[in-house]
Structure 1
């Protein structure tokens, strides 16, 4: 299958600039980069795509076995880079795609130049001294609610994820994005996301890495950002003066600036 069709690949920007690949999180699609991508495109070659099951990806490529864990998504990223013959990529992964990027880069580091992990979480569950932000009961309730009434869950959860109650239009946009995803596919991706544990993978990262967190994030609190930073050797940590889990929508200028400063290539 043509990867460009499978993942609805869109390439924009400066063909001679550094390559930046933007990867969206759970329940989203590439449209959530709409405020950041044009800024990056002034000096970078920007590659956008939809994970299989999201946006305008080819739903015939969906396989619940392949996508029951994050490694299937990481394999898709590597297939995409190989198909487009891309190397020295700055991979920007939002939310769960941060760990998808880690898995892909650990497997084939020669394809990558740098990683930008935007509001990442290697493990959402509290575990001993590790604070992921959710108890096991929290995650069980979240998944049960999602599977019982996905549209209702989307309407209730999106404002929590977005975290900007004074800007309700952002929560509505995220809810609309959630609702464009097939509920059965969303349920599988949710389990792959919220039950993942990629803490051990952080120590294997050999690339220059930027961890970008928000000052207030209900999904990936600052303890998580500090953990990721501490466990990726030589990483940098930037805390945006922003609220919520999706700063590419709530604070696009600051998000773009953090990416560009780290990616380089601005003329």
Structure 2
């Protein structure tokens, strides 16, 4: 890739590279409503012996908001394109991709398209489908999701204040719920509404069986967004994958149980 194009892509996604430049590469990808800052307690745990890459999805954090294209980002494939572009811009292969929530499925799609780029997938709180479907239990009925999205459309800031503490799932630490509310509120509401629909209406179950990259699924013991049954489903659908269930609760152990999560990630590294 030409240097000017590579520089443009790295600026677009606010890419930050730290750690050991000679170590294996770990790329950390954030979930809906967050930014790379959500990894600030976990990613540094690997900087002594890994090159650590963090970035913001377009529309989040310090990304270039002018690069947001509603057509491109009308599915997870637009975000998948960006991940592969960034790996190309950094000339990276053999990457350990650590994806939280919706970024877990973005990692799956990227690894299915260019498996040679990846050494391993680490999927934290993944969900291939949030809506129940026959025997499949995603954790939500269709009416639940439609109601959630309607509420988000009607009053994004109010939705954020009400829903973020529920997502965090650690009521004994209200400061973390408040931090997530603040993170949600920094996202442009128009972009957040579309990303929410893309996230909560997606169905990537068929993509799981195509994964041939070693995969470690990490699941909170209680998670209102991605229940433990969903983590087990992902584990069973990806041949040869490993499943770790944390003692931590909530959908964001990246903030509420960073040490436990970091230890689980390290134990599963190949």
Shorter-chain TM range is over 0.9
Q: Which residues in structure 2 correspond to 1:42-191 (within 5 Å)?
A: 42-191=48-197
1:200-230 Cα distance to aligned partner (Å, 9 max, x none): 0000000100000000100000100010000
For the residue of structure 2 that corresponds to 1:243, the secondary structure is: coil
1:119-169 Cα distance to aligned partner (Å, 9 max, x none): 000000000000000000000011000011000000011001000000000
**Any stretches of 5+ residues in structure 2 without a counterpart?**
none
**Any stretches of 5+ residues in structure 1 without a counterpart?**
none
Deviation at 1:263, TM superposition (A): 2.4
For the residue of structure 2 that corresponds to 1:263, the secondary structure is: coil
For the residue of structure 1 that corresponds to 2:268, the secondary structure is: helix
For the residue of structure 1 that corresponds to 2:44, the secondary structure is: helix
Cα distance in 1 for residues equivalent to 2:89 and 2:266 = 25
Cα distance in 2 for residues equivalent to 1:262 and 1:9 = 25
Q: Which residue of 2 aligns with 1:263?
A: 269
For the residue of structure 2 that corresponds to 1:63, the secondary structure is: coil
> How does the TM-score come out when normalised to structure 1?
0.98
Give 1:39's match in structure 2, choosing from 39, 45, 51: 45
Q: Which residue of 2 aligns with 1:9?
A: 15
Cα distance in 2 for residues equivalent to 1:40 and 1:157 = 31
Q: Which residue of 2 aligns with 1:223?
A: 229
Cα distance in 2 for residues equivalent to 1:213 and 1:19 = 23
- Equivalent residue pairs, number: 264
Give 1:28's match in structure 2, choosing from 31, 34, 44: 34
Cα distance in 2 for residues equivalent to 1:209 and 1:74 = 17
> How does the TM-score come out when normalised to structure 2?
0.97
Please give the root-mean-square deviation of Cα atoms over the aligned residues, in Å. 0.7
Large movers: runs of 4+ above 4 Å = none
